[in-house]
Structure 1
Amino acid sequence: MKKLKLVFQDSFFDKLLFIFLPILMLFFASAAFAQLPRYYRQQPKNNEGDLMTVNMYFGGHNTAGDLSDRFGDHASAGLGLDYITAKGFIMGVQGSFYFGTKVREDVIAGLRNESGLIFGNLGGIADIQLRQRGLYVGGHVGKLFRLKKELRSGIRATAGAGFYQHKIRIQDDPLVSVALLSSEYKKGYDRLSNGLGFTQFVGYQYLGKIRRVNFLVGLELTEGFTKNRRNFNFDTRSADTKTRFDFAYGFRVAWLLPFYIGEEGESIRY
């Protein structure tokens, strides 16, 4: 198995901003809501019992293992659905889309001239960009450990498994076409890889009594045991049959929309 390589190319300040900006946004949003006049806010409700949450995710990740040879840091966005019991057990599903601009493997180097330029069909210079694209779809189980008995908030820990995929997206120049990078030819360069994936998350989950502020924030690990699904790589003139170990680590934040099970609807008086 390939030795893990932790790669940090950005400045320390950029890394701090990349990691903590979403956390600060959640903090200030919660603080601002707490300062609203009382007549703008709902009265506290009972947030005990079983519930389901719809989760809207955002994350930032760095790479290690084989993934670091191909991509740098990247972002993710996704949706999830959790069932949380009264005792804090968690069962859920999630789907995430990964996207980034730092591609370290120049799969179209063979199409460039000595100056690094790619020329189109009519002789014009084509501005071809390489991008990261990927996805993860899977299920997870875990536990919410309350910090205080009377609060429905605490340390959340989950682990899951599913389908993990990534590829290099070759972004065309809309004004200059390149015959060797047509739709079918791109498959020989994009390194489409997928396989079994695993995720682990540890962080803090908050479910508010008034149910308007509900979020989670924490650290996430993702491992993928993948293979190249293309029969032939045009740039290397060979097939890639090895099993990859792809590893990503970073943070994840989510806004939760809770639905409490078995709760009676509110009565409206006229």
Structure 2
Amino acid sequence: MKRICILVVLAFSAFSSIAQNDLFTEEKTPAHKGFIINANGGVDFPAADMADRFGTNYRIGGAILYKTKTNWMFGPKIDFLLGNNIKEDSFLINLTDDDGALINQDGQPVGINTYERGYLIGIQGSKIFNISKSNADNGILITTTVGFMQHKINLFDREKTIPQLRRDYRKGYDRLTNGMFVEQYIGYNFFAQDGLINFHIGLNVTAGFTEGRRDFLFDVQRPDHGSRLDVLFGIRAGWYFPIFKRKSEEIFFE
């Protein structure tokens, strides 16, 4: 957590320096249109039902966007959820001994690795509200995304000595969950005039209206079809690779 806070402070410090230069330059570049490849990453802090199952997770992903001259952007995106903080630690209780240790097929205690894995795929629409005196492409970025999200507990039995976690049996423990989501993001959007530095940084909140998708959970001996509200509060930054169409410049000689 301390490292995350330091990275956030450094990122916002760099953003503040660039934004100040952007706001106080007199000559203004007009808005561009064209395609943009966006690579982004961030950290999420879960809430509601998500917080009962997982701790802090990380997100990496990308989008292919089209930007108009009126500063609208839209296109498909995908993010992957990665984490190793599993709070729902009782889901393997029927595979443990009295001391809470996992037992393999030879009756010996073993350890397995558990991870959070998931993804969000959807369509996003964004609007840049220009506040820059130097570049019409720069300003406050507000984005709405709607789509499909899925997450589960990934169980990794390295030695493959626990029969109950092989093949389809692991489905009775992985807590597969999916459903629709909506996400709101607000941040600052920057395109350099020379095209070398192009980024966004800001905050997002994601609400997933999901359901459990397994027909039977071995530990609690029942189906898992309950409705959930999976919420993520996040800090996210992204790098743009713009493919803007530039007008040819005419050169005059005296």
Judging changes above 3 Å, is the alpha-carbon distance between structure 1 residues 198 and 20 closer, same or farther for their aligned structure 2 residues?
Answer: farther
Question: Secondary structure, in 3 states, of the residue corresponding to 1:86?
Answer: coil
Could you tell me which amino acid in structure 2 is paired with residue 161 of structure 1? Answer: V
8 Å CA contact 1:118, 1:125 repeated in 2: yes
1:104 correspondence with 2:84: no
2:252 matched to which residue of 1?
none
Q: Is the 8 A contact 1:126 1:176 kept in 2?
A: no
Q: What amino acid is the match of 1:261?
A: K
Is 1:171–2:175 an aligned residue pair?
Answer: no
Alignment of 1:114 onto 2:103: no
Residue identity matched to 1:252 = R
Aligned residues: 239
SS of 2:31's equivalent in the other structure is: coil
Structure 1 gaps of 5+ residues are 1-13, 32-44, 266-270
Which residue of structure 1 aligns with residue 235 of structure 2? Answer: 251
Normalised to the residue count of structure 1, the TM-score between the two structures is 0.81
Q: Which amino acid in 2 is paired with 1:101?
A: N
Match of 1:140 among 111, 118, 124: 124
Q: What is the TM-score with the length of structure 2 in the denominator?
A: 0.86
How far 1:138 moved relative to its partner? 0.3
Q: Secondary structure at the match of 1:24?
A: helix
State the partner residue of 2:144. Answer: 159
Look up the equivalent residue of 1:124 and give its one-letter code: Q
> 3-state DSSP class of the match of 2:188?
strand
Over 3 Å counting, the alpha-carbon distance change for 1:230 and 1:211 in structure 2 is same
Q: Distance in 2 between matches of 1:212 and 1:25?
A: 17
CA deviations over 1:83-142 (Å, ceiling 9, x no partner): 111111121221000011111112112211122211211233321122111100000112
Q: In the alignment, is residue 205 of structure 1 matched against residue 189 of structure 2?
A: yes
**2:59 equivalent among 76, 83, 106:** 76
SS in 2 for 1:75: strand
User: Which of the residues 230, 245, 253 maps onto 1:261?
Assistant: 245
> AA paired with 1:58?
G
Aligned-pair RMSD on alpha carbons?
Answer: 2.5
Aligned to 2:70: 87
Match of 1:188 in 2: 172
Conservation of the 8 A alpha-carbon contact between 1:125 and 1:176: no
Give the match for residue 7 of structure 2. 21
SS in 2 for 1:177: coil
Q: Please list, as runs of the form range in 1=range in 2, the aligned pairs for 1:220-239 lying within 5 A after superposition.
A: 220-239=204-223
- Aligned residues of 1:19 and 1:60 also touching (Cα < 8 A): no
How far apart, CA to CA, are the structure 2 residues paired with 1:263 and 1:98?
40
Segments of 5+ residues of structure 2 without an aligned counterpart are 18-27, 250-254
* Offset at residue 230 of structure 1 (A): 1.0
**Displacement of 1:28:** 5.5
Higher strand share: 2
Report if aligned partners of 2:29, 2:134 keep a CA contact under 8 Å in 1.
no
The alpha-carbon distance between structure 1 residues 22 and 53, as it changes in their structure 2 partners (threshold 3 A), is farther
Amino acid at match of 2:146: A
Tell whether the 8 Å contact from 2:31 to 2:71 is kept in structure 1 after alignment: no
Q: 2-side partners of 1:26 and 1:94: how far apart? A: 24
1:27-61 Cα offsets, whole Å, 9 max, x none, are: 65998xxxxxxxxxxxxx96632122101110100
Checking the alignment, whether the CA contact within 8 Å between 1:19 and 1:251 is kept in structure 2 is no
Offset from partner CA, 1:227-252 (integer Å, 9 cap, x none): 11111111110012221111001111
